[in-house]
Chain A
Amino acid sequence: MSRVSEKLSSMYLTVWTLVFLAVWIGLGLYLAGSDAYIKDFRVMNNILVRDWLFSEKSGSGFLKIWFAVLCAVMVVMGINLIFCSWSKIFKIMRARFSRNQLFMLIVHGIFGFVALGHLGGFMLGFEYNDIRLGKGIKHHIKEGYEIEIKDVLFVGNRKALAKSKRDISRDDLDYTKSYVDVSLSRDGELLKEQRLYLLKPMNHKDVHVTLRSFVLPEGFIGEPAPDTEAWAMFTLSRNPALKTFLIIYPVMIAGIFIYLVMTWRKPHINQNSNNK
């Protein structure tokens, strides 16, 4: 193995990458709480990261640099994972590897796919947040999809329409009975019609129509009255990597758990002799 590949597969590189990543995420944590960047993060959340990154209109330049560095660190970690795994495969071939280590190598491989799935969520498909619609209103996106609201039923106190999600109580809203009837079409062709509830989105292949909350009508000013019309806020998104991501993530967790069971006992040491 050459010196370069030895360094790229080094655990020291892993540790320092993780330390840098922690510092960088810590910086993100600080920025997300600061008044100067809170709006930019909101813009970042409202569309697919790929579109946000390459749009000249959206977000501050500093946030884009922050994100680019974050991606670069993840690339370094990915390279380190590949080289480290490769050197371990060599050891397996030379039969210097235990069953437990082989299992952990597989778990690391799955982790690599989980990280790729996460990246896929940022870069593939599309995402449009904060689409506010009332009964009979349509919304069209440039990918050709269109949603139309057929009906809205809000069961609860209309004052909740002006509240943030975490302040809405059980008395304010019955989320199991409040619904929105939605149709999804593409280029004029009806794809699906469904009654949407909060936390029960419409899924058509890898396109998702999610009812985020019930809101006041656009332009509404003043205190909501019992007869105030309820509108709904949606996210229209497509993530081709989602299904795979949701399957491999629990496989990774199960792998770590199985590895723990395999290695729970430390060989040749009697537990009772140490702690008396």
Chain B
Amino acid sequence: MLATLYYSIFILYFLLLLTCIIGFKKIELVTCICAVTVNLAGLLYIYTSSGTLPLFNIYESFLFSSFIMGATGLFFLFKGNFAIKVRRWVWAGSIVLLLVMSFFPKEVSLPVYDHGYSYIVMFHAFRCIALSLMLVSTAWFVQFIIQREMDERTSMLSHMGRNYLVLASVFYLAAEYVGIIWCQKGWGDFWMWSQTFFQSTLVVIYLMLAFHIPGKGRKAEDIRSVIGALSGIFFLTLIILRSTY
């Protein structure tokens, strides 16, 4: 069932990308509604069958992230002609997430005794939302990099990329904050010298770097957009690495 669910969602997001590239807006809207609905149904199925929110392994968390990305793309669709080309990259981002999932077992996470604890749930949920928003930000920056040579009035794309990256940072820091409370209540200290904590810190430093590139010229904007575009990929890579130990 979980594998069928995965392939259904993958096909729907793939069709979504195709319809977006071809430019059939109405079909894209219908496909998007179907994809987001099936994605949501999958999440609800996992929750009802396992009794745990779908956030705790790669399969569950990426399914949740692809849902957030799908919902964001749907929001762009409802806003009319806003961000047509950016949507392509949002759908491509969802497909990347689903492709990464193909390398991992399509199963629900182990029902660990404390997975119902509110701070643990919020920690994982906020991280998934941050990942989705970083990938949406990547979409804006990628389109900015592509369009830049064709059109000089593209700085809005870069600005929107920055907006979504700041929003992702807010969710990421919120995840860090609830993680601090969880750690304090569970281990008696809010910091541990471990790989997982170093990885989280690396993401924070990366985000700080993305927002502190100096200068106002074209070169500075290019560097900012490249670092911004790589943010989602960087976070995604760290999540994959983290799942290996």
Contact = CB atoms under 8 A, between A and B. Distances in A.
A212 B185 CA distance: 9
A15 B210 CA distance: 9
B111 A170 contact: yes
A167 B214 CA distance: 47
A169 B113 contact: yes
The 9 closest A-B pairs by CB, nearest first: A235-B188, A210-B188, A11-B214, A29-B198, A266-B159, A260-B166, A173-B113, A237-B188, A18-B209
Contacts of A170: 51, 111-113, 115
A272 B209 contact: no
Interface in B141-162: 143, 151, 153-157, 159
23 contacts: A18-B209, A21-B205, A22-B209, A28-B193, A32-B194, A32-B198, A129-B187, A170-B112, A170-B113, A173-B113, A198-B114, A200-B185, A208-B188, A209-B188, A210-B186, A235-B189, A249-B177, A256-B173, A259-B166, A271-B156, A274-B151, A275-B85, A275-B157
Interface stretch (B14-22, B37-45, B75-83): B75-83
A276 B87 CA distance: 12
A237 B85 CA distance: 54
A87 to B, nearest CB: 13
A199 B117 contact: yes
Most buried by A among B177, B188, B202: B188
Contacts of A263: 163
Nearest to B115: A170
Contacts of B166: 256, 259-260
B208 interface: yes
Contacts of B192: 45
A31 to B, nearest CB: 9
A118 B191 contact: yes
B1 interface: no
**Most chain B CB atoms below 10 A, which of A41, A170, A171:** A170
Interface string B203-220: 001101100111000000
A180 interface: no
B181 interface: yes
A175 B112 CA distance: 11
A236 B184 CA distance: 11
Contact of A44 (B80, B193, B205): B193
Contact of A237 (B156, B159, B189, B205): B189
Interface residues of A, number: 68
Contacts of A200: 185
B209 A19 contact: yes
A246 B180 contact: yes
B86 interface: yes
A242 interface: yes
Contacts of A208: 184, 188
Interface residues of B, number: 59
B181 A246 contact: yes
Contacts of A36: none
Given A18-B205, A256-B169, A169 B188 contact: no
B209 A276 contact: no
A76 interface: no
A172 B212 CA distance: 48
Contact of A269 (B82, B156, B198, B206): B156
Given A237-B189, A246-B181, A260-B163, A253 B174 contact: yes
A121 B198 contact: no
Given A129-B188, A129-B189, A168-B113, 6 more contacts: A18-B205, A32-B194, A32-B195, A127-B188, A200-B185, A253-B177
Contacts of B174: 253
A29 B112 CA distance: 26
B167 interface: yes
A273 B115 CA distance: 47
Nearest to B165: A260
A165 B115 CA distance: 11
B77 to A, nearest CB: 13
Contacts of A168: 112-113
B110 A11 contact: no
Contacts of A25: 198, 201-202, 205
Contact of A33 (B151, B214, B245): B245
B177 A250 contact: yes
Contacts of B153: 269, 273-274
A168 to B, nearest CB: 5
Contacts of A22: 202, 205-206, 209
Contact of A252 (B85, B173, B199): B173
Nearest to B159: A266
Given A18-B212, A256-B169, A274 B181 contact: no
B193 A45 contact: yes
